[in-house]
Amino acid sequence: MRALAILILALVAVAALHLLVPLDSFLGLQRRDPALARLLLSELRLPRTLLAAGYGAVLGITGAALQATFANPLASPDITGSSSGAALGAVLGGYWFGVTSPLALAGFGAAGAALTLLLLLLLAGRRADAATLLLAGLAIALAAGAGTSLLLALAPSPFAFYDAFDWLMGSFTDRSLPQAAAALIPATIACVLLARRSVPLDMLSLGEDIAASAGVRPRRLSVEVVAFSAIALGACVSVCGAIGFIGLIAPFVARRLSAGHPGRALMPAAAIGAILLLAADLLVRMAPAGRTIPVGVVTTALGTPLFIWIVMTMRRTAMS
């Protein structure tokens, strides 16, 4: 409980920092034209802060829930291929069906994520060993990536590739408040529903048979987790693109705070995910370069070493 309180305080602090930095330009504007300064906050900076915090929380909680469901500490949104699936769905909706409403795009993204997760359940099964899950996830992610490229290459619009690069590389630049709402309203509902599954997910940590004997329905629970995760991820990916590794790191850290319980780690994972993504985006914004770096690049750069470390420790425990 104390850990969660500290996390929430840290989250508020990072969010405030994210909203106000760079401070000098904001304060300068505040002196010259307070109305414009408020507009800058609400129209430009607020959607970005909300999206970074919300998407980070989605990655953390869906990562934790998927890991609990697949009984595997590597089953994160990116590694299961669901982020790639969501991107494929959004591209299909945006460039082939001419969908422009953010909410409808979010629906396409959710459908794409749901399809990839169901395909993973079909290919690897619910309790697959780490290697099977990784390989099946990799295959799905590659196929979804190739599908996305193909759809973009053949898209009616000749600018699709250029356009989508900005859209899907994982970035929060120039997103509007309605776009943020389209991503975050369905995502919040799905995340609340996920968080309510934390007790049965902890029971599932003892294995499907013990959980089922205690009244949990493992098959229904995994379908629910997959559906809610797909909705939350699909909505966020359709607005900001795929962002890697937060969904792996946040649950990993959260389980240190939940004494190893995968279900109890859901809420801490959401808070940690939000803090991490806000901090990564803050880093991007403070970078001196004239051109903006997509935030997905930063999270991947920071996440890869941790991923390798987890795989190494898993290999060691498997061998002992």
Residue 125, interface with other proteins (CB under 8 A)? no
Half-sphere exposure of residue 161: CA atoms within 13 angstroms, side-chain side? 5
Identify the sign of the CA torsion 198, 304, 15, 293.
negative
Q: Please identify which residue in 113, 216, 221, 237 interacts with other proteins, judged by CB under 8 A.
A: 216
DSSP class of residue 41 equals I
Per-residue burial over 212-232, b = 16 or more CB atoms within 10 Å of its CB, e = otherwise = eeeebebeebbbbbbbbbbbb
261 binds other proteins (CB under 8 A): yes
Rule CB under 8 A: say whether 212 interacts with other proteins. yes
Our CB check for other proteins shows the closer of 27 and 206 to be: 206
**Selected range binding other proteins among 5-13, 22-30, 208-216, 225-233, rule: CB under 8 A:** 208-216
Take residue 24 and report the two structure tokens written for it.
């000098």
**Using the rule CB under 8 A, is 210 a contact of other proteins?**
yes
Nearer to other proteins, 65 or 298 (CB): 65
Please report whether residue 209 would count as binding other proteins according to CB under 8 A.
yes
Of the candidates 12, 104, 77, the one whose C-alpha atom is nearest the C-alpha of residue 242 is 77
- Nearest CA-CA partner of 280 in 307, 245, 253: 245
Interface with other proteins includes 200 (CB under 8 A)? yes
Q: Can you tell me which of 16, 206, 287, 301 binds other proteins, judged by CB under 8 A?
A: 206
Is 215 a binder of other proteins (CB under 8 A)?
yes
Q: Please choose, out of 4-12, 107-115, 226-234, 255-263, the segment that lies near other proteins by the rule CB under 8 A.
A: 255-263
CB of 70 to other proteins, least distance (A): 10
Cα separation of 27 and 25, whole Å?
Answer: 6
Contact with other proteins (CB under 8 A) among 28, 125, 178, 260: 260
Q: Which of the residues 54 through 83 are near other proteins (CB under 8 A)?
A: 71-72
Closest to 54 (Cα-Cα) out of 182, 199, 221, 198: 182
Cα four-point dihedral sign 129, 131, 136, 140: positive
Among 53, 120, 203, 272, the residue binding other proteins under the rule CB under 8 A is 203
Q: Judged by CB under 8 A, does residue 205 bind other proteins?
A: yes
> What string of H, E and C letters represents the secondary structure of 277-300?
HHHHHHHHHHCCCCCCCCHHHHHH
User: Residues 49, 54, 57, CA angle at the centre, nearest 5°?
Assistant: 130
Interacting residues toward other proteins by CB under 8 A? 71-72, 200, 202-203, 205-210, 212-216, 255, 259-262, 317
